[in-house]
């Protein structure tokens, strides 16, 4: 059976280009693929960065108001983006029937295509960042002697540092897996 999509190029783990230079979105929730037409591409690019927009809204609103207000604003914004994405944007896209996700669409496979030196640099930086964050938090909290959950800024600093450090370790582990896969 002939593949009607041609050679599939992986852009991210959920966006692809087929042999006819059409942009394809794979929705992991519904396990369906959709074509992104030219007129919908700007909306898709905006919605593709919705998590970053929510994070920036949280940071901006936290600089003005309390952490609770910032969390509520960012949560409402995230829910609004998701409702628009799921209920209005996805249904107006044309479905790509019989589309199968390529085997090399995983993050590790994408990282394995990078140069080994870049992967080593990413591993070093992703391991160095949590160490620097731990040092900074210990300096700011005086080895947790002055730490209190009642201080909102201190709590945000500790929780944010933990989140960034864990994500950085996740990327480092993915880079190590990609490096091992590349060596095989």
Give the model's pLDDT for residue 24. 85
Q: What is the pLDDT of residues 95-131, one digit of tens each?
A: 888 887 777 667 676 677 778 888 899 899 989 988 9
Q: Order of strands across the sheet with 94-96? A: 9-10, 15-17, 23-27, 32-36, 94-96
Q: What is the pLDDT of residues 10-24, one digit of tens each?
A: 777 778 888 778 888
Mean pLDDT of 132-146: 80
Q: Is the pTM of this model over 0.85?
A: no
Q: Where are the alpha helices (DSSP H) in 24-151?
A: 38-48, 50-64, 67-83, 107-112, 116-141
Per domain, the residue ranges of the chain are: 9-95, 106-183
Residue 1 confidence (pLDDT) above 50: no
Give the model's pLDDT for residue 4. 73
Q: DSSP per residue over 139-178, as a string?
A: HHHTTTTS--TT-HHHHHHHHHHHHHHHHHHHHHHHHHHH
Give the chain's mean pLDDT. 82
Question: What percent of the chain stands above pLDDT 90?
Answer: 12
DSSP three-state, residue 27: strand
Q: Is 135 buried (19+), middle (13-18) or exposed (0-12) by CB count in 10 A?
A: exposed
First to last CA, the chain: 32
């Amino acid at each position: 059976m002939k593949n009607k999509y041609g050679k599939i190029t992986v852009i991210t783990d959920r966006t692809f280009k087929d042999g006819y230079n059409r942009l394809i979105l794979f929705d992991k929730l519904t396990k369906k693929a959709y074509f992104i037409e030219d007129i919908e591409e700007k909306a898709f690019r905006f919605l593709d960065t919705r998590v970053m927009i929510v994070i920036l809204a949280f940071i901006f609103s936290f600089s003005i108001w309390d952490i609770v207000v910032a969390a509520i604003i960012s949560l409402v914004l995230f829910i609004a983006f998701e409702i628009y994405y799921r209920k209005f944007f996805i249904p107006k896209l044309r479905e790509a029937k019989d589309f199968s996700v390529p085997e090399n669409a995983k993050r590790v496979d994408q990282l394995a295509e990078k140069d080994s030196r870049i992967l080593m640099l990413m591993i070093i930086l992703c391991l160095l960042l949590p160490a620097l964050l731990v040092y900074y938090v210990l300096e700011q909290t005086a080895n947790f002697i002055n730490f209190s959950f009642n201080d909102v800024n201190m709590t945000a600093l500790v929780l944010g540092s933990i989140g960034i450090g864990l994500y950085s370790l996740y990327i480092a582990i993915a880079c190590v897996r990609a490096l091992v896969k590349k060596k095989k």
